[in-house]
Amino acid sequence: MSEMTRAPEKRKTIFSGIQPSGTLTLGNYIGALRNFARLQDDYDCIFCVVDEHAITVRQNPADLRRRCLELAAIYIASGIDPEKNLIYCQSHVSAHAELAWILNCFTYMGELSRMTQFKAKSAAHADNINAGLFTYPVLMAADILLYQTDLVPVGVDQKQHLELCRDIAIRFNGVYGDVFTVPEGYIPKVGAKIMSLQDPTRKMSKSDPEETFISLLDGPDTIRRKLKRAVTDSDASIRFDPENKPGVSNLLSIMSALGAGEISALETEFEGLGYGELKSRAADCVIAALEPLQAEFRRLIADKAYLQGVINASAEKAGYLANKTLRKVQKKVGFAAR
C-alpha cells in the first residue's frame, strides 16, 4: 500500500491513576508520574484522580476535595498537556462504579484475598477493613478496561493488581467474545520501586511518617535534610546492591531515574567518595527535578477556575468513551435494552 492510501493507524490508549490520599511522594513521581508526560506524544492518554479508591481509607472530606484539585494541578505541572490528554476525577464518571459492580461478579474471593496490598492495608487499618478495601482491585480493573486501554504505566507495587485486571478481562472475553482490550503494564526499568529513606527495605509511601519520604512539594532545605538523614550502611562503598546495600542502592536508583546517568556509570563516578557526597549529589538531582514542577504547581493552583474547567471538560469526554464500553458490557451480560 502506498503512503497515501494507508489508513491512519489508531493511536494506542494509556490509562493510569493516582490516589488523592496524601502528599505525592518522590516514589509516585519516579515510578509513575514522570513517565506519563513522556508517553503523551505517542498515545492517547487518560489520567485519573482516583478519589473513589481513596475513600477505602477514611478521608477528611474537605482535605480530599482540595487534594483532588491539587492532583489535577500536579498532573499538569508534571508536563501533561491538558489540551491533548484527559485529566479528570473518577467520581465524575459514574461508569467506573457501574462497571466495577459487574466485574465484581467475575472476580473470585480467593483472587482478592491473595492481593498483597489488601493484606498490608488491612493490617494498617485493622479498625476499618471494609468491603471497598477488599474489592479495590476490581474498581481498578474497571478504570482500565472502560477505556480499552493498551498500556498502563505504574510502579511495581501495582503489578499484581494489573495482572488481576488482565485475568478478569480474559475471563470476561472468554464468556462473551472480545469485549475488552487486555492491557499491558509499563513499569520503568529504574525506579519502579523507590524505597523509604528510613527503612530502605520498605516502599516509600505517603502514608508513612514524614521523614521517610520526599514530598513532591518539599522545598530544597527539606529535601537536603531528609536525604542527609537517609539510612545507608556501615560499609562505606558506593555500589548498587539492593540486597545488601538497600539504602545506597535506593539513592543510586533515584539519581539514575532523574537523569544522572546509568547506575554503573554512577558507581564509577563515586569510586573513593563517601556517603556525604552521594547524599548531597542525590539532593541536587531531586531539587533540580522538582523545582520546575513546584513552580508550575504554584502557578496552577492559584487558578482554581482553570483547573475546574480542565477536569469538567475531561470528565465529559471520558464519560462518553467509558459509556461506550459500559453499554456494550451491559448488553452482553443481558441487561434489558434502554
Verify whether residue 193 is a known catalytic residue. no
44 makes contact with ligand TYM (CB under 6 A): no
At 170, list the grid cell: 480474559
31 makes contact with ligand TYM (CB under 6 A): yes
230 makes contact with ligand TYM (CB under 6 A): no
- Using CB under 6 A, pick the residue from 56, 85, 135, 158 that binds ligand TYM: 158
- Using CB under 6 A, pick the residue from 100, 204, 282, 285 that binds ligand TYM: 204
What residues contact residue 325 under an 8 Å CB cut-off, 6+ apart?
A: 95, 99, 145, 146, 147, 148, 179, 180
Number of residues that bind ligand TYM (CB under 6 A): 26
Give min distance, CB of 256 to ligand TYM, in A: 14
Find the catalytic residue in 121, 226, 245, 279: 121
The span of 24-32, 97-105, 247-255, 306-314 binding ligand TYM (CB under 6 A) equals 24-32
53 makes contact with ligand TYM (CB under 6 A): yes
Verify whether residue 119 is a known catalytic residue. no
143 makes contact with ligand TYM (CB under 6 A): yes
Q: Which is nearer to ligand TYM, 163 or 235 (CB)?
A: 163
Q: Which is nearer to ligand TYM, 18 or 72 (CB)?
A: 18
Question: Which residue has its beta carbon closest to ligand TYM?
Answer: 31
In DSSP terms, 86 is beta-bridged to: 46
Neighbours of 277 (CB within 10 A): 13
The span of 30-38, 252-260, 275-283, 305-313 binding ligand TYM (CB under 6 A) equals 30-38
What residues contact residue 247 under an 8 Å CB cut-off, 6+ apart?
A: 195, 200, 230, 231, 232, 233
- Using CB under 6 A, pick the residue from 73, 152, 238, 322 that binds ligand TYM: 152
Q: Which is nearer to ligand TYM, 195 or 266 (CB)?
A: 195
- Using CB under 6 A, pick the residue from 71, 140, 285, 329 that binds ligand TYM: 140
> In the 3-class helix/strand/coil scheme, how is the chain assigned residue by residue?
CCCCCCCCCCCEEEEEEECCCCCCEHHHHHHHHHHHHHHCCCEEEEEEECHHHHCCCCCCHHHHHHHHHHHHHHHHHCCCCCCCCEEEEHHHCCHHHHHHHHHHCCCCHHHHHCCHHHHHHHHHCCCCCCHHHHHHHHHHHHHHHHCCCCEEECCHHHHHHHHHHHHHHHHHHHHHCCCCCCCEEECCCCCCCCECCCCCCCECCCCCCHHHCCECCCCHHHHHHHHHCCCCCCCCCCCCCCCCCHHHHHHHHHHHHHHHCCHHHHHHHCCCCCHHHHHHHHHHHHHHHHHHHHHHHHHHHCCHHHHHHHHHHHHHHHHHHHHHHHHHHHHHHCCCCC
293 makes contact with ligand TYM (CB under 6 A): no
319 makes contact with ligand TYM (CB under 6 A): no
223 makes contact with ligand TYM (CB under 6 A): no
Give min distance, CB of 206 to ligand TYM, in A: 8
What is d(CA 281, CA 207) in angstroms, rounded to the nearest whole number?
Answer: 27
282 makes contact with ligand TYM (CB under 6 A): no
Give min distance, CB of 269 to ligand TYM, in A: 24
Find the catalytic residue in 12, 159, 193, 206: 206
157 makes contact with ligand TYM (CB under 6 A): yes
92 makes contact with ligand TYM (CB under 6 A): no
- The set of catalytic residues is 121, 203, 206
Point out which residues bind ligand TYM (CB under 6 A).
15-19, 27-28, 30-32, 50, 53, 140, 143-144, 152, 154-155, 157-158, 161, 192-194, 203-204
